[in-house]
Amino acid sequence: MSKHNFYPVELKIQIIKRFLNGESAASLREEFKIP
């Protein structure tokens, strides 16, 4: 069984803004422990 992680909306928005500002998806996944 896989574990489902819950990410608050505020965190999602912060991550998306950083991605749109040019940060790489790989670095954001590593920082926020997103599979």
Task: Tell me the pLDDT of the chain (35 aa) as tens digits.
Answer: 456 778 899 999 999 999 999 999 999 999 988 88
Q: What is the pLDDT of residue 34?
A: 85
Domain range holding 15? 1-34
For residue 25, the number of C-alpha atoms closer than 13 Å in the C-beta half-sphere is 1
| Sequence-ordered list of residues with C-beta below 8 angstroms from that of 18, at least 6 positions apart, any chain | 28
Q: What is the pLDDT of residue 2?
A: 57
The candidate with the shortest Cα–Cα distance to 23, out of 5, 31, 6, 11, is 31
Give the chain's domain count. Answer: 1
pTM confidence score: 0.72
- Interatomic CA distance for residues 2 and 13, integer angstroms: 24
Q: What is the pLDDT of residue 20?
A: 98
